[in-house]
Chains A and B, each alone.
Chain A
Amino acid sequence: DAGVIQSPRHEVTEMGQEVTLRCKPISGHDYLFWYRQTMMRGLELLIYFNNNVPIDDSGMPEDRFSAKMPNASFSTLKIQPSEPRDSAVYFCASSLRRYKQFFGPGTRLTVL
């Protein structure tokens, strides 16, 4: 298996623009997680899905953030409008159970 795939790997955008991050989990995994990592706040869970259903989105910072999982092999995290404070590395992870998560390579987002 290729592991968790994320795209793009790097994204530079201007404040106010819409940003869409994409994730393909490992086939057969039931859980999908979106995290954000910064030096100041560490690794923060934003939202996670079980069998394509959002279970906990309490980590989503505000209404500008939204996530979808239309099927078992694809998920998106959208920020609209983006702000400079959204600059971070965003990770997607998947797992068969909630523990032992497999992380993707991350998307480094820079909002100017």
Chain B
Amino acid sequence: SQKIEQNSEALNIQEGKTATLTCNYTNYSPAYLQWYRQDPGRGPVFLLLIRENEKEKRKERLKVTFDTTLKQSLFHITASQPADSATYLCALEGETSYDKVIFGPGTSLSVIP
């Protein structure tokens, strides 16, 4: 069955460092991979989307890579700040309307001042 795994443990990093979050998947060939941020008590917020034919995408301090051979995406936050502390979810999606969107379990990130 389709499966998504993210960093199994919560991630704690020092302010100013680069945070790297991992998303691995099996039994799926996504056309798109997305990253969302979720704060406690709120719904997820869309951050970035990368397509299967793209290797890397950047937005301000965020960078996403997508390796369809390894079936893995890496999500980087450079110059991290305490305000970046949240849970980050990756989501896979196929090409057609009949392909279900699947979310990973999320990784909790804490940026320590």
Contact = CB atoms under 8 A, between A and B. Distances in A.
Interface stretch (B20-28, B58-66, B77-85, B92-100): B92-100
Nearest to A42: B105
Q: Looking at chain B's contact residues, is the secondary structure mostly helix, strand, loop, or mixed?
A: loop
Contacts of A43: 44, 89, 103, 106
A42 B100 contact: no
Interface of A: 4, 33, 35, 42-45, 48, 50, 55-56, 58-59, 91, 93, 98-106
B101 interface: yes
B97 A50 contact: yes
Closest 8 CB pairs of A and B: A103-B43, A43-B103, A42-B105, A100-B46, A103-B44, A91-B43, A99-B32, A106-B43
B98 A56 contact: yes
14 contacts: A45-B103, A48-B101, A50-B97, A55-B97, A58-B100, A59-B100, A98-B93, A98-B101, A99-B49, A99-B101, A100-B34, A101-B46, A103-B45, A105-B43
